[in-house]
Amino acid sequence: MRVIDYNGTGRWTRLAILARYADYVGRFSVSEPLDLTPKEHVWRDTQWVYPVMDKVIAGIRSGDAACIVIGAEFMEEDSKFTFGRALKSHVARAMRQADLPAAVQARLRKRIVDMLIAGNVPREFREYAKLLRKIGFADYWHKIQAEAPASNKYAMRYVGYLRAVHARSSSVVRPVSHLDEIY
């Protein structure tokens, strides 16, 4: 039987992800571990094994701490994957909907800002920028302004987006109330 496995290579194979998940379940005391068995389809003499990351994304949405860490690792990975753009977009969207621990927020914040400064803005970066908006820039705004690649129009488009978010942030600009206008 011919097997077509859409999972990655190295640490992103199906077995490697499942092993890391089992390790993280113990480390983070996940009370109800998920079944991360990927979807499979068999037709005639061919078996297709779909990405485990689909199940990890569902785990991120449900708040599974082990899946959240695997999702952060996936976003930090520069390697190319089958369905990679869609998977990375879905991971970022799920992270935006999840309640992330401060340590994961710091990792993601650093990764997204480093990608922007390097001019590495693939199509999934749109979801990354939205995630950065949600988790906040912290002290990275000055670094973004100082080190953004002015010659990269795609990166500068996101810098403009983040500038607009930063300008509207209540932590930066005090909201004007009706009483402020009177006095």
Clarify whether residues 87 and 128 are in a common domain: no
Clarify whether residues 115 and 168 are in a common domain: yes
Distance CA(44)–CA(52), nearest Å, equals 23
Clarify whether residues 109 and 76 are in a common domain: no
Helix, strand, coil percentages, rounded to 5, for the chain: 60, 5, 30
Distance CA(59)–CA(178), nearest Å, equals 45
Clarify whether residues 54 and 114 are in a common domain: no
Angle in degrees, CA 85, 91, 103, rounded to 5: 130
Distance CA(125)–CA(122), nearest Å, equals 5
Q: pLDDT by residue for the chain (183 residues), tens digit each?
A: 999 988 888 899 999 999 999 999 999 988 899 999 999 999 999 999 999 999 999 999 999 999 999 999 999 998 888 888 999 999 999 999 999 999 999 999 999 999 999 999 999 999 999 999 999 886 898 999 999 999 999 999 999 999 998 888 655 434 444 444 433
pTM score: 0.86
Structural domain of residue 144, as residue ranges?
Answer: 100-183
Clarify whether residues 53 and 36 are in a common domain: yes
What local confidence, expressed as pLDDT, does residue 177 receive? Answer: 44
Distance CA(99)–CA(60), nearest Å, equals 9
Residue 144: Cβ-neighbour burial (10 angstroms; 0-12, 13-18, 19+): buried
Q: Are the C-beta atoms of residues 133 and 168 closer than 8 Å to each other? A: no
Q: Provide the β-strand partners of residue 41.
A: 48
Clarify whether residues 79 and 131 are in a common domain: no
Question: Domain boundary residue among 76, 99, 122?
Answer: 99
Clarify whether residues 123 and 92 are in a common domain: no
Tally the domains of the chain.
2
